[in-house]
Amino acid sequence: MSECTIKIKGKKQSSFLSKVKEIIPDGGNLNLCLTCGACAAGCPATGLADMDPRKFLRMFAMGMEEEAIKSPWVWMCTMCQRCVYVCPMKIDIPQLVYNARAEWPREDRPSGISKSCDMALRNDSNSAMGTAPDDFIFVVEDVLEEYKESQPEFKDMKAPIDQDGAFFFINQNSREPVTEPDEMVPLWKILDLAGVDWTYGSKGWAAENYCMFLADDDCWERVTRVSAEQADSLGCKVFLNTE
């Protein structure tokens, strides 16, 4: 009777997972999953592209990293951190998603996000709409004067730009000055009624950062640096991102 030897091979080492674990604090926590499903229950992207956070993580655990990385679900995840919040083991799935996005060739990433990122790099506004600093200043001043005239109770309302020494450096979604300028006013009113010392910057005033969602670290840093350096140059104490 011949003997049959069965050899069980260990799963291959994942260089991708190793890289992600180096980024996550405390040496990474991706192996702590209890498969409880809390992440999937609270995820707004659960079920899209036949995927959810638990399944995504388990695919990596079972050595199916290539399939997981190529899933279009990585672009459907909002990286809202709900899964981290509810996870009893605090597993950082959004960090895994972000790095999976970075594995995609740039030309294969969603064109809407990549074009918005590229547009933000074209001038110092950081605007994904391409709005230049001078255009932003014009819109803010025009809308401010209109509301001060039409609503006398806010005749002293301010929307300062490049005010030296303001405590808060505040930014604005770049869609609003272009398509819905009236949407800027409620924030101004709140800040006025609260007596807040604040300013916009003519540079770096756009709040959204599509380069972050594109998983393009170099462009993400460039966009963020424009805003941070403008806040520093004005002597602001707090950078308040409204997004």
Same domain? For 77 and 148 the reply is no
Domain, as residue range, for 159: 112-240
What pLDDT sits at residue 16? 77
Percent residues over pLDDT 70 in the chain: 93
Same domain? For 60 and 86 the reply is yes
What pLDDT sits at residue 243? 83
Q: Which tens digits make up the pLDDT trace of 73-95? A: 999 999 999 999 999 988 889 98
Q: Of 22-26, 138-142, 191-195, which gets the smallest average pLDDT?
A: 22-26
Give mean pLDDT, residues 11-36.
73
The total number of structural domains that make up the chain: 2
**Cα–Cα dist 202/234, whole Å:** 11
What does pLDDT average to over the chain?
Answer: 90
What pLDDT sits at residue 3? 53
Same domain? For 128 and 80 the reply is no
Same domain? For 165 and 194 the reply is yes
User: Is-contact 49 120, C-beta < 8 A?
Assistant: no
Grade residue 219 by pLDDT with cuts at 50, 70 and 90: very high
Same domain? For 70 and 172 the reply is no
Grade residue 31 by pLDDT with cuts at 50, 70 and 90: confident
| Domain contains 7 | no
